[in-house]
Structure 1
Amino acid sequence: MTMDDYFYNGELMKCYEAALQVQEGPEKALAIKYLTLLEEYDFATLPKPTVLVETQHAERANESYPESDAVAEIRALKDEATFSKRVKELEHVARTGTADEKALSFFTQGELFLFAHHYNESVHCFKQAVKENPNKAVFWGITGQTMHRFGWMPFDALAYLEQAINLDPTNARWKWNKALVLIQLAKDLQLAPFMANAAIVLEEAIAACGEQQRSLKEAIQNTIDNMDSYVFSLTHT
């Protein structure tokens, strides 16, 4: 695939790495363009997975992951003092724990901030979780999903969703979120290749849905059903 292919398919890290390989020749100018663009979004310093094998948990019927169990437990606490104590424990682990413990602590804090509608703090914690353990797709995926939902730039969100999909290629939710970002880019930049690739990713996403993921499947199908209006708006502006 070419740099353009990777770019329009939302595989921005692959686009960046391909651009790094271009030393001279007719593609040099294009490579510089992509390097300049993507380095503005910190692609040069994004964490990279460090192990070949990591357990990637499937999404459960209630749309949660095992990594979120601590969040559910803490949010169920009714006593404010007990709640505060648990939060302080999380903060302590984030400072003193192993890399895996720090990652889960930051992820838990990120979800607590998310439920409290503190989105900047949430994304900060999710990014720290990825930094401490870049091998879990759910950390990357939730980061990208949160970025997309709450106003971060599409290229920021795609950087994290791309790695989530690389680590867990069968996860329908990360694919759906990637398609949503591609649709946004198609509309914002008026570039049809983003839309064409979004349609392909949506078909992959709905095919990847498990039997228990009924609500997700409905959401993906709704996006597919609205593709005609997206395409119409793209071609009539």
Structure 2
Amino acid sequence: MTLDDYFYNGELMKCYEAAKQVTDDTEKALADKYIKLLEEYDFASYPKPTLAVEIQHAERADESYPESDAVAEIRAIKDEEAFSQRIKELEEVAKTGMPIQKAQSFFTQGELFLFAHHYNESVHCFKQAVKESPNKALYWGITGQTMHRFGWMPFDALGYLEQAITLDPKNARWKWNKALVLIQLAKDLQMAPFIANAAITLEEALAVCDEHQRSLKDAIQNTIDNMDNYVFS
């Protein structure tokens, strides 16, 4: 694939890494352009997944993951003092726990901030979870999804969604979110290759969507059905 192929398909890290390998003078200008653009979005400092094998849990019918159970438990606490104590414990684990414990704590805090509509804090916590546990697709995916929903730049969101899909290629939600970002880029930049790749990604998302993910399947199909609304001038 060419640098442009990677870029318009939302595979920005692959584009960045490939651009750094370019030595041909005829391609150097384009490569340098991509390097400069993507380094503005911190691609040079992304956490690196390791060779360790990580279990990637599937999304459940209620759109949650096993990693979300702690959030449900904490939100069910009615006593204010008990709630505060549980939050203090979370924060302490984030400071002193093992990396996997820190990551889970940051993820839990991020979801709690999300429910409280504190989106900047939520993204900060999700990014910390990625740093502590860069092999878990959920942490990358939830970061990219939250960024896309709440006003971050498309290239920020795509970078995280790309890593989520690389780690868990059968997760339909991350593919759907990637397609939504590509559609946004197609609208914002009026570049047809983005919409073409969005259509392909939506079909891929539909193909790997499990039967129990009924609402997600409907959302993906709705996006496909409305693709014709994105007309270029």
TM-score category (smaller protein): over 0.9
Paired with 2:51 and 2:20, the residues of 1 have a C-alpha distance of 23
- Offset at 1:51? 2.7
Counterpart for residue 32 of structure 1: 32
Counterpart for residue 118 of structure 2: 118
Where 1:56 maps in the other structure, the secondary structure is: coil
Counterpart for residue 13 of structure 1: 13
Correspondences of 1:1-237 after superposition (within 5 Å)? 1-230=1-230, 232=231, 234=232, 237=233
Paired with 1:11 and 1:37, the residues of 2 have a C-alpha distance of 14
Higher mean alpha-carbon deviation, 36-45 vs 22-31, is at 22-31
Paired with 2:51 and 2:151, the residues of 1 have a C-alpha distance of 32
- Offset at 1:25? 1.7
Paired with 1:111 and 1:176, the residues of 2 have a C-alpha distance of 20
How big is the alpha-carbon RMSD for the aligned residues of Structure 1 and Structure 2? Answer: 0.6
Paired with 2:212 and 2:81, the residues of 1 have a C-alpha distance of 37
- Offset at 1:52? 3.9
The two structures have a TM-score, normalised by structure 2, of 0.99
Moved over 4 A (4+): none
Spell out, residue by residue over 1:53-108, the C-alpha distance to the aligned partner (whole angstroms, 9 max, x if none).
Answer: 11000000000001111001000111111111110000000000000000000000
The two structures have a TM-score, normalised by structure 1, of 0.97
Structure 2 gaps, min length 5:
none
Paired with 1:74 and 1:52, the residues of 2 have a C-alpha distance of 30
- Which residue identity is paired with 1:68? S
Paired with 2:52 and 2:177, the residues of 1 have a C-alpha distance of 24
Paired with 1:102 and 1:157, the residues of 2 have a C-alpha distance of 23
Spell out, residue by residue over 1:147-205, the C-alpha distance to the aligned partner (whole angstroms, 9 max, x if none).
Answer: 00000000000000000000000000000000000000000000000000000000000
- Offset at 1:24? 3.5
Paired with 1:23 and 1:41, the residues of 2 have a C-alpha distance of 23
- Offset at 1:50? 1.3
Paired with 1:66 and 1:158, the residues of 2 have a C-alpha distance of 24
Paired with 2:53 and 2:199, the residues of 1 have a C-alpha distance of 30
| Aligned residue pairs, count | 233
Taking only the aligned residue pairs, the percentage that are identical comes to: 81
Where 2:26 maps in the other structure, the secondary structure is: coil
Paired with 2:64 and 2:71, the residues of 1 have a C-alpha distance of 10
Paired with 1:3 and 1:52, the residues of 2 have a C-alpha distance of 28
Paired with 2:164 and 2:83, the residues of 1 have a C-alpha distance of 31
Where 1:50 maps in the other structure, the secondary structure is: coil
Paired with 1:52 and 1:5, the residues of 2 have a C-alpha distance of 29
Paired with 1:112 and 1:46, the residues of 2 have a C-alpha distance of 24
- Which residue identity is paired with 2:151? G
Paired with 1:226 and 1:81, the residues of 2 have a C-alpha distance of 48
